[in-house]
Amino acid sequence: MRLPLAGLAAVLLAVAPAGAGPIATSFGELGLEGDPGLQMRLMRGGRPVPGASAPYVTVVEIVALPGGGDAALVELSDGGNACTGRYLWVHGAAAGRVRVTPEFGSCLGLIGGVRTGPEGLSVAFRTADPGLTRRIVSYDGARLREIAVHEHEFGAAAAGPGKEVSRWDGAHPSEILDLAGERLRFLQIMGRADLSELRRRLMVASAAGTHDGAVIAEGCMAHDCGDERGLLAIEIATGRPFAAILSEGHPVRLFGGAPEELPAAMRARLAAAE
> Mind listing the pLDDT tens digit for each residue in 138-154?
888 888 988 766 555 54
Q: Distance between CA atoms of 167 and 184, rounded to whole angstroms?
A: 17
Residues forming a β-bridge with 66: none
Closest CA to 236 of 173, 183, 163: 163
Q: Between the CA of residue 64 and those of 69, 168, 212, 222, what are the distances in Å?
A: 6, 32, 46, 33
Domain assignments of the chain as residue spans, ordered by start: 23-108, 163-273
Give me the chain's average pLDDT, please: 83
Q: What is the mean pLDDT of residues 30-41?
A: 93
Q: Distance between CA atoms of 263 and 213, rounded to whole angstroms?
A: 8
Closest CA to 55 of 22, 18, 90, 25: 18
The pLDDT confidence band at residue 213, using thresholds 50, 70 and 90, is very high
Instruction: Compute CA 172 distance to the chain's CA centroid, rounded to the nearest angstrom.
Output: 9
Rounded to the nearest 10°, the torsion over CA 185, 190, 191, 196 is -80
Closest CA to 187 of 156, 226, 142: 156
Pick from 30-39, 124-133, 245-254: least confident: 124-133
Q: Are 105 and 123 in contact (CB under 8 A)?
A: yes
**How many CB atoms are located within 10 Å of the residue 115 CB?**
17
Q: What is the pLDDT at residue 91?
A: 92
* CATH T-level assignment (fold) for domain 163-273: Inhibitor of vertebrate lysozyme, Ivy (3.40.1420)
Instruction: Compute CA 48 distance to the chain's CA centroid, rounded to the nearest angstrom.
Output: 28
CA angle 190, 127, 256 (to 5 degrees): 15
The pLDDT confidence band at residue 7, using thresholds 50, 70 and 90, is very low
> Mind listing the pLDDT tens digit for each residue in 165-211?
999 999 999 889 988 889 889 988 998 889 999 999 999 998 999 99
Name the H helices within the chain. 163-166, 173-178, 180-187, 192-200, 264-273
Q: Distance between CA atoms of 241 and 235, rounded to whole angstroms?
A: 7
Q: Are 194 and 255 in contact (CB under 8 A)?
A: yes
pTM, full prediction: 0.52
Closest CA to 30 of 266, 41, 110: 41
CB hemisphere CA count around 121 (13 angstroms): 27
Highest average pLDDT, of 83-97, 119-133, 135-149, 153-167, comes from: 83-97
Q: What is the pLDDT at residue 152?
A: 54
The pLDDT confidence band at residue 241, using thresholds 50, 70 and 90, is very high
Q: What is the mean pLDDT of residues 30-43?
A: 93
